[in-house]
């Protein structure tokens, strides 16, 4: 039986069959073709691997590694790079020299994919700066502007499981792609239909290896963020536990802490070696308790002062702090961001650095506490859509007009200063360590700073619920849910009147009491927010990458004293559960 006859007998999509035939007939290597033939014994896997082309979304590629058009592999990476190169060339047609920078994390095949990306750019006439070894995502963002590049690519799947890899594309400002470049690049990538469209050979002489020079320039910028060097000097022996979770953070974060003057940093040895299999944790995501377990266990053993962990590409940070009873508490992203913003603004104010042109940025699903802090210090607050590319885009818009101090989002991403245009775990870990030293110099802990913050501004607590609805029917159900929220919005939630509704699809905010509507100066997005009379905020947002609808809850109460922390915290958790029940979600 011929291969085609056998293929015709398989129960797979017509699109999958066409893509398989193209790969078997195309200029693909023998090992890849044999893997495709072997997969014909597993029709379900064959169908899943070939039924579509892996989508190049607004942030790039992300998918399971393997053979097929719907997988991350050397060929899908090469085709994506050709599309990106074509678009960059079109946008900068008048430039004498086009430049790109490429970096990668510790994931399996990341180095291979990075080298292929560099080869394609070089074959298209670009000068390519390729990092000599793995480096954090924020350093890639920094390097784009450092080398005056027109684009950059980071090979990473961030904190996804080990089976995944990804491809993040950056524009000349060091920010991930935003309009119109995001959709325009997608269009160019979609035009690359076959391997013969990809240039891979002939540009080896255009690839420049980079490393220590960029590391040094990057770390010098982070050093400039220090606000209280005297606190670091006084408390240099603060006991810090850090884990890179087998990722790129090991290349810079311990070195950066030492450079700032910290002398008592304990790296989790078992997780210090870069390894794309992430053998010591079920998930390399510092948002999850399991990922923090080994570092917190070490902290208990040595009686540490603070713990932090970075994800594989070192753009997110998880933090654990010691409580008065000796126990350890994992902070959520809103809590860490709020303390960072509080410290930055308090310090800038004390040093008379606030002139009236300063601002912070947060996303619309982030706690309102950073905004309250900023207003107290006379600093502007800009809300942007979910995703760090929108923070970078706002900085670009205000460049030369106003001064960005810092900002971030609830999903454990933070940025201090504007020399990086993406989440930065290297800079954030350095700032978190400085805050801990500043607190220690006053006989306090990081936890004490958080409690004082809550006492001054109110105890904000956040929760997240994801409702999964799979398949075509699930997607339709999610859209129907959003339609119902718009046409029949709740008048009250958990007994508190809804006083404001923000609809980012209609780009308007409506005051319920007056009926007055105002425009929301943000790009259109399918997001709804309900604000209640007692200070709660509920955000409803379909996921752009997964079959789920997400609910973000933010509640608030007064914190009378430090001893009331646990009781108030439990009460707010209970309030979030009551809100879920009142909305019929549990």
Point out the residues that are catalytic.
158
495: left (phi over 0), alpha (psi -120 to 50) or beta: left
Tell me how far apart the terminal alpha carbons of the chain are, to the nearest angstrom: 55
User: What would the two tokens of residue 361 be?
Assistant: 């940025």
DSSP secondary structure string for all residues of 321-360: EE-TTS-EEEPPHHHHHHHHHHHHHHHHHHTT---S-EEE
Instruction: Give, in order, the Cα–Cα distances in Å from 296 to each of 24, 69, 363, 580.
Output: 50, 41, 29, 31
Cis peptide before 484 (omega within 30 of 0): no
Using an 8 Å Cβ cutoff, are 336 and 319 in contact?
Answer: yes
Using an 8 Å Cβ cutoff, are 283 and 290 in contact?
Answer: yes
DSSP secondary structure string for all residues of 105-139: -SSTTHHHHHHHHHHHHHHTT-EEEEESS---HHH
When computed from its CA atoms, the radius of gyration of the chain, rounded to whole angstroms, is: 25
- Cα 132 to Cα 126: distance, rounded to the nearest angstrom: 18
For the chain, the 3-state helix, strand and coil shares in percent, each to the nearest 5, are 40, 20, 35
Question: Strands 508-511 and 496-503: what pairing?
Answer: antiparallel
The alpha carbon of 480 is separated from its chain's Cα centroid by a whole number of angstroms, namely: 28
DSSP secondary structure string for all residues of 520-574: --S---S-EEEEETTS-EEEEEE-SSSSEEEEEEEEEE----GGGHHHHHHHHHH
Q: Which of 76, 87, 78 is nearest to 184 (CA)?
A: 87
Using an 8 Å Cβ cutoff, are 298 and 268 in contact?
Answer: yes
Using an 8 Å Cβ cutoff, are 105 and 166 in contact?
Answer: no
The contacts of residue 133 (CB under 8 Å, 6+ apart) are 211, 251
């Amino acid at each position: 039986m011929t291969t085609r006859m056998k293929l015709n007998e398989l129960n797979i999509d017509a699109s999958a069959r066409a893509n398989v035939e193209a790969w078997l007939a195309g200029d693909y290597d023998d090992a890849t073709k044999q893997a495709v033939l072997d997969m014909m014994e597993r029709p379900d896997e064959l169908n899943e691997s070939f039924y579509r082309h892996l989508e190049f979304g607004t942030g790039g590629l992300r998918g399971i590694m393997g053979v097929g058009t719907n997988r991350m592999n050397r060929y899908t990476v090469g085709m994506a790079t050709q599309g990106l190169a074509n678009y960059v060339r079109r946008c900068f047609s008048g430039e004498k020299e086009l430049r790109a920078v490429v970096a990668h994390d510790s994931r399996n095949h990341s180095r291979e994919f990075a080298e292929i990306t560099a080869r394609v750019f070089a074959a298209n006439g670009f000068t390519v700066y390729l990092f000599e070894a793995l480096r954090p995502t924020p350093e890639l963002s920094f390097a784009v502007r450092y080398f005056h590049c027109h684009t950059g690519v980071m090979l990473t799947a961030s904190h996804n499981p080990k089976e995944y890899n990804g491809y993040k594309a950056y524009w000349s400002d060091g920010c991930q792609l935003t309009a119109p470049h995001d959709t325009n690049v997608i269009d160019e990538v979609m035009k690359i239909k076959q391997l013969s469209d990809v240039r891979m050979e002939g540009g080896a002489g255009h690839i420049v290896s980079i490393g220590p020079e960029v590391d040094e320039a990057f770390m010098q910028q982070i050093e400039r963020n220090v606000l209280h060097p005297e606190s670091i000097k006084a408390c240099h022996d603060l006991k810090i536990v850090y884990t890179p979770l087998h990722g790129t953070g090991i290349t810079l974060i311990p070195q950066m802490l030492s450079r700032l003057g910290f002398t008592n940093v304990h790296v989790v040895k078992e997780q210090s070696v870069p390894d794309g299999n992430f053998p010591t944790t079920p998930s390399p995501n510092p948002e999850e308790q399991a990922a923090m377990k080994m570092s917190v266990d070490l902290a208990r053993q040595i009686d540490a002062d603070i713990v932090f962990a970075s994800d594989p590409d070192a753009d997110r940070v998880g933090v654990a702090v010691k409580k008065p009873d000796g126990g350890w508490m994992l902070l959520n992203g809103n809590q860490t961001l709020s303390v960072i913003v509080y410290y930055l603004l308090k310090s800038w104010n004390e040093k008379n650095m606030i002139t009236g042109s300063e601002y912070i940025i947060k996303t619309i699903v982030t706690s309102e506490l950073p905004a309250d802090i900023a207003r107290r210090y006379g600093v502007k607050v800009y809300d942007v859509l979910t995703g760090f590319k929108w923070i970078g885009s706002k900085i670009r818009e205000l460049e030369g007009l106003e001064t960005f101090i810092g900002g971030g989002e609830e999903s454990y991403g933070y940025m201090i200063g504007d020399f990086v245009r993406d989440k930065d775990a290297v800079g954030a870990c350095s700032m978190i360590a400085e805050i801990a030293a500043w607190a220690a110099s006053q006989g306090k802990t990081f936890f004490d700073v958080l409690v004082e913050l809550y006492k001054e501004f109110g105890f904000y607590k956040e929760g997240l619920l994801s409702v999964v609805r799979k398949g075509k029917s699930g997607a339709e159900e999610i859209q129907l849910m959003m339609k119902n929220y718009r046409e029949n919005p709740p008048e009250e939630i958990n007994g508190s009147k809804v006083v404001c509704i923000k609809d980012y699809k209609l780009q308007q905010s409506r005051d319920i009491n007056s009926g007055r509507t105002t425009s929301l100066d943000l790009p259109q997005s399918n997001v709804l927010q309900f604000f209640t009379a007692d200070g709660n905020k509920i955000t409803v947002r379909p996921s752009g990458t997964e079959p789920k609808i997400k609910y973000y809850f933010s509640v608030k109460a007064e914190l009378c004293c430090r001893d009331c922390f646990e009781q108030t915290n439990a009460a707010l958790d209970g309030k979030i559960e009551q809100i879920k029940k009142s909305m019929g979600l549990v």
